[in-house]
Chain A
Amino acid sequence: MSARRHLAWGLASLLVLAMAIGLWSWIARAGLVSAVFLPGPERTWAAIVKGLQSGVLVQQTGQTLRRMVLGWGLASVLGIGAGAVIGLSARARVWVLPLLEGIRPLPASAVAPVAIVFLGLSEQMILVLIAFGALWPMLLTTAHGVASRPARLAEVSRCLGLSRTAYLRKIALPGALPDIFGGLRLGLTVALILAVVGEMITAQGGLGTRILLAARSFRAPDIFSGVVVLGLIGLASNAILSLAEAWLLRWRPR
């Protein structure tokens, strides 16, 4: 029953996707929008194939992926670390959280000029930009997850004689994992967005730079091929994270 339903829903989503592509193709062929701005799926696909054959698109995808993963990793380490400290200490929550809540709504793209002043139009600047933007969801979800652990487990930890670091590592963080995964997921989306923004600002290569340069010279198929690959990256990275989540949280009652 459940498996059949799963299959039906999967087929339905594929059907919707096929219809969307069909609509796109029809709009492009009917000339509703000038071909200079809107290439059809066929020309976009041709641009992807050409990019893969020449290796340019592969290289650009690699660059963007690397930045996204590195920046996201940096944000994870910082965000989960700081979130754990804040979640454990009621004092830190009262003292630090208002400040963090004040910084958090700042759009990362508005912070970019500041990062450029310090780091120039460089690789490091892109990574700092990504880390800054992706940090918040992880920090806040970790702090929340660690702080909202049942008090009973803290007592169990004391009764067993676990050290503070052992409590954090073996009880507080694993217990906060369902919350942390929410932050990791949000952070991943932000990381991909900021990787592209950073590449557009710095022109250091990657899909962001590809799209920007293609737009400036009206090569619409190249723009669209970049956008399609970005969409696929988002889809695939989310799927991988979902698999990791399903495995790591398999203990949860269904």
Chain B
Amino acid sequence: MPAQILKVAPRPQPVTAAPLIRFAGVGLSFGRTEILRGIDLEIAAGEFVSVIGPSGCGKTTLLRLLAGLQKPSAGQVSMAGRPLRGPAPDIAVVFQDYANALLPWRTAAGNVALALEARGVPRPERAARIAELLQMVGLGAHAERFPAQMSGGMQQRLQIARCLAQDPSVLLMDEPFGALDAMTRHKLQDELRGIVRRTGVTAFFVTHDLEEAIYLGDRVIALAPHPGRIAHSFPVTLPPQRDQLSTREDPAFLALRRALFDFIQEASA
């Protein structure tokens, strides 16, 4: 199975021999309910993987396994050759519900500081790093605002900044832009892609928006439900430089969108 995925997924960037992340025969059941079965998946360092599938197919659960928030009942998830035993500071998670994931009593700067405090970054070094990260997500002028004084898009930017403060090698995102309006979503997609390319972080992006999955990803993993399993792995053959208008009109984009759409129709039936 992994070999097959590798074959259909030629990556645009040079890839090291060993994958950074490996799911080997991973399954998860709660009592009699089987959520995920036989997940074999390899992700290379620096790769941007999008995950789609009909609702209830276990997309979020797959992400939680990789985050170490959930333990598999079968198989193993490993990172850099070592089995994952729980949440690792090296793996950052952007949750969909940004309002619950931020500390409302801390300012934007304070929320970013939390990740630095957890890493034990000495106090004198924090301020400069915080300013840099807030600048990177476009919140440079809003360091002293509390989350309640920010729009949804700004709050999600802030959560991304806090995740980057962990200096992670893997960035997990669970429908991060699902609750935002279309304009904000497009803007954040471009910013996210830019950040991922600049930092070289490996991205694992769960979404229900097929176009978003293609636009952002180097590869799109499609999950089928009952129980959740990997049905397809579609390589994204678009040039790395993407644009909200021209990329979305690219024949390769449209062809892949059609393939994903057909898959979802079939899987939901």
Contact = CB atoms under 8 A, between A and B. Distances in A.
Interface of A: 150, 152-153, 155-156, 158-162, 166, 170-171, 174-175, 177, 249-253
Nearest to B88: A161
Contacts, number: 60
Contacts of A249: 105
B86 A152 contact: no
Given A153-B100, A162-B118, A166-B118, A174 B105 contact: yes
A160 B114 contact: yes
B105 A166 contact: no
B91 A159 contact: yes
B100 A160 contact: no
Interface of B: 67-69, 86-89, 91-93, 95, 97, 100-101, 103-106, 114-115, 117-119, 146-148, 166
Contact of A252 (B92, B93, B148): B148
Contacts of A166: 117-118
A150 B118 contact: no
Given A150-B100, A152-B97, A251-B104, A158 B148 contact: no
A162 B118 CA distance: 5
Nearest to B100: A152
A171 B103 contact: yes
B101 A160 contact: no
Given A150-B100, A152-B100, A251-B148, A160 B105 contact: no
Contacts of B115: 160
Which 9 pairs, one residue from A and one from B, show the smallest C-beta to C-beta distance?
A: A253-B148, A152-B100, A161-B89, A160-B118, A251-B146, A158-B87, A251-B105, A150-B100, A159-B87
A160 B164 CA distance: 11
A158 B86 contact: yes
B69 A175 contact: no
A251 B117 CA distance: 21
Contacts of B117: 162, 166, 170
A250 B89 CA distance: 31
Name which of A152, A155, A160 has the most chain B CB atoms within 10 A of its CB: A160
A153 B101 CA distance: 6
Nearest to B166: A160
Given A171-B103, A174-B105, A177-B105, 20 more contacts: A150-B100, A153-B101, A153-B103, A155-B93, A155-B95, A158-B68, A158-B69, A158-B87, A159-B67, A159-B69, A159-B87, A161-B88, A161-B118, A161-B119, A162-B118, A170-B114, A170-B117, A175-B103, A251-B106, A253-B148
Nearest to A178: B105
A18 B92 CA distance: 62
A179 B68 CA distance: 32
Name which of B86, B105, B106 has the most chain A CB atoms within 10 A of its CB: B105
Nearest to A177: B105
Name which of A152, A153, A175, A251 has the most chain B CB atoms within 10 A of its CB: A251
Contact of A152 (B101, B105, B146, B166): B101
A159 B92 CA distance: 7
B104 A252 contact: yes
25 contacts: A152-B95, A152-B97, A153-B103, A156-B93, A158-B86, A159-B67, A159-B91, A160-B89, A160-B114, A161-B87, A161-B89, A161-B119, A162-B118, A166-B117, A170-B117, A171-B103, A174-B105, A175-B103, A175-B105, A177-B105, A250-B146, A251-B105, A251-B106, A251-B147, A252-B148
Contacts of A252: 104, 148
Nearest to B89: A161
Contacts of A177: 105
A31 B147 CA distance: 62
A214 B67 CA distance: 70
A156 B105 contact: no
A131 B176 CA distance: 48
A159 B89 CA distance: 6
Contacts of A161: 87-89, 118-119
B130 to A, nearest CB: 15
Contacts of A152: 95, 97, 100-101
A253 B150 CA distance: 10
Nearest to B106: A251
Contacts of B97: 152
Contacts of B101: 152-153, 156
Contacts of A250: 146
Contact of B93 (A153, A159, A162, A251): A159
Nearest to B116: A160
